[in-house]
Structure 1
Amino acid sequence: MTDAPGSRPLFGAADIRALADELGIRPTKTLGQNFVIDGNTIRRIVAAAKIDPDETVLEVGPGLGSLTLGLLDAAARVVAVEIDPVLAGRLPATVARWRPDAVGRFDLVLSDALKVTELPQEPSAVVANLPYNVAVPVVLHLLEHFPSLRHGLVMVQDEVADRLAAQPGSKVYGVPSVKAAWYGTMRKAGVIGMNVFWPAPKIHSGLVGFARTEPPATSATRREVFAVIDAAFAQRRKTLRAALSGWAGTGAEAERILHAAGVDPQARGEVLGVADFARIAEHKDSAAGAAETGAVR
């Protein structure tokens, strides 16, 4: 049984700095470490994540445990993945001291989140303060390898949040937007200021919520669809006929595939949704087969 979020004490700036001093650590840019030092921000994140009391939540990069404590108050179980061995080594003791009743509901995995493909418990949600430099790859990796993840909320660089949640036609719509849409719907859930972190970043952070949906109905694989997406955005502002010429083999072949998929060859990737890219991918072989049949005739 968990307590209502907000009813128990959370870390403040003094707690975070004292713990860091005790461990002899300082946040590193290499690992993208910016620790949240404001309890109200933790409460805001947990509330926005809309966690059910019976859920198992995956947290990536728990650091010193600020968000971990808030998640343990809201969820049935928390599985934390931490890459830093010093931080990971201290987390169980932190949980035991601040949430002694939750020790049996906390699992720790010492690993790079980009390499994790198995967890001790199957999570239904992910809530995390992600390092800026690997946020998008981590989100896509988790959604690919853990289909049990039905929803979540991640804190990322604000402009990355805008890209993940962008819709076709937006100026910031691109590869992250389309690939994320393969897995579900993304929404911008808020902006977090700089002063709630230690050290304070030079830019704002953004909250992105997601809900998993079924991918587009297509005979193409995810890998095939993602290859089209990468090709379409490799040279922004080029028409799809030009951008996909290398992927298709020739410009003429790209045009043939696009026509077969019902997509204007003069359009640009920025206006297509994930279902459009799926249609393009699935028509690659069929368009080539049709061309060969026509040549034989």
Structure 2
Amino acid sequence: MDSVTSTEQPLLSGADIRKLADILDLRPTKTLGQNYVIDPNTIRRIVDAAHLESSEHVLEIGPGLGSLTLGLMDAAQAVTAIEIDPPVAARLATTVEEYRPGTADRLAVIEGDAMRISAAEVLAIAPESADGPPTAIVANLPYNVAVPVMLHLLAELPSIRHGLVMVQQEVAERLTAGPGSKIYGVPSVKMAWYAQATYAGTIGTKVFWPAPRITSGLVQFTARQPPATTASRQQVFEVIDTAFAQRRKTLRAALSNWAGSGVAAEELLIAADVDPKARGEVLEIEHFARIAEQKHRRDTP
């Protein structure tokens, strides 16, 4: 089906957000990354850029007071929202019912930490209207945990096909950077294991309450199959972490302790068809997978 959004349905304004905050006696904290979107046009922009189909089940992380949730309810069949703040989580269904009467069966709210949530927990509390597990992630992610949350959820939920997340602009640039870029690093490569990610736009500070000090970026992603390899994801990620821990060093030097010696590292790299004098910042995810596979073969009796 085609993507559907509505500009006629009411979305939360700045006054609405502050009213809800007063009801909950809520004072946004940096610890939980609570910066709420107060501009309906920004919500519409995010939902439109997510390219959701009307039959989809969307996973939202950190729904807060419901700004984006309402937009997602208009565009998708079902929404599962994960919220860490208990009073905020408890209020969300009421807000959705007030603004979108009769949609209770299309929303599920999980009070919990998205960093620790399991696929089983998400599936156990799915909305009645959901036709299967979540297929998309759309979220305004807390800046301080954006990357680990994304990597955790993509590992837990292979049903995710695509999504759009708003994160700190610097994080967005790192997640979407390509080999050879100065900001290409661990987040870039690990994200590439799961998906093709692109930078989809910049969001200013004035559309939030409270306004953050830094701008935000939109990251659009489409799931892809990981590289074909006999090495596990954990083994490949270990190579990535090791290579970038000393990113100024050649791979031969950076991987020497991990491989057992500089000579052993060079042998593994040559076997993986990777230049030992290269640095990690020029390798694609497939290269790291080949390096991990060579070590796995060497260490397997």
* TM-score normalised over the length of structure 2: 0.94
How far did 1:96 drift?
1.0
Tell me the residue number matched to 1:233.
Answer: 244
Tell me the residue number matched to 1:295.
Answer: none
Counterparts of 1:1-297 in structure 2, within 5 Å, are 4-117=5-118, 118=120, 119=122, 120-121=125-126, 122-287=133-298
Q: Deviations over 1:57-99 (max 9, x none)?
A: 0000000000000000000000000000010011111011111
How far did 1:22 drift?
1.3
Conservation of the 8 A alpha-carbon contact between 2:179 and 2:281: yes
Conservation of the 8 A alpha-carbon contact between 2:4 and 2:54: no
1:73/1:288 CA distance change after superposition, 3 Å: closer
After the TM superposition, which parts of structure 1 deviate over 3 Å for at least 4 consecutive aligned residues? Answer: 285-289
How far did 1:262 drift?
0.6
Query: What is the distance in 2 between the residues matched to 1:3 and 1:47?
Result: 8
How far did 1:165 drift?
0.4
Query: What is the distance in 2 between the residues matched to 1:164 and 1:4?
Result: 27
Amino acid at match of 1:158: Q
How far did 1:288 drift?
5.9
Conservation of the 8 A alpha-carbon contact between 1:260 and 1:287: no
Q: Deviations over 1:154-198 (max 9, x none)?
A: 000001000000110011100000000000100001000000000
Secondary structure at 2:102 match in 1:
helix
Query: What is the distance in 2 between the residues matched to 1:7 and 1:243?
Result: 56
- With 200-209 and 97-106 compared, the bigger mean Cα shift is at 97-106
Amino acid at match of 1:268: R
Amino acid at match of 2:96: V
Conservation of the 8 A alpha-carbon contact between 1:61 and 1:130: yes
Amino acid at match of 2:208: F
Conservation of the 8 A alpha-carbon contact between 2:82 and 2:111: yes
Conservation of the 8 A alpha-carbon contact between 2:5 and 2:47: no
Query: What is the distance in 2 between the residues matched to 1:3 and 1:146?
Result: 24
Conservation of the 8 A alpha-carbon contact between 1:5 and 1:46: no
1:177/1:3 CA distance change after superposition, 3 Å: closer
Quick check: which has more Rg, 1 or 2?
1
Q: Deviations over 1:26-68 (max 9, x none)?
A: 1101101100000000000000000000000000000000000
Tell me the residue number matched to 2:129.
Answer: none
Counting matched residue pairs gives 289
How far did 1:7 drift?
2.0
Conservation of the 8 A alpha-carbon contact between 2:4 and 2:52: no
Q: Structure 2 unaligned runs (5+)?
A: 127-132
Secondary structure at 2:173 match in 1:
helix
Query: What is the distance in 1 between the residues matched to 2:82 and 2:7?
Result: 24
Query: What is the distance in 2 between the residues matched to 1:107 and 1:67?
Result: 14
Conservation of the 8 A alpha-carbon contact between 1:34 and 1:201: yes
* TM-score normalised over the length of structure 1: 0.95
Secondary structure at 2:139 match in 1:
strand
Pairwise CA RMSD: 1.4
Query: What is the distance in 1 between the residues matched to 2:25 and 2:258?
Result: 51
How far did 1:101 drift?
2.4
Q: Structure 1 unaligned runs (5+)?
A: 293-297
Amino acid at match of 1:225: V
Query: What is the distance in 2 between the residues matched to 1:9 and 1:136?
Result: 31
Amino acid at match of 1:46: V
How far did 1:220 drift?
0.6
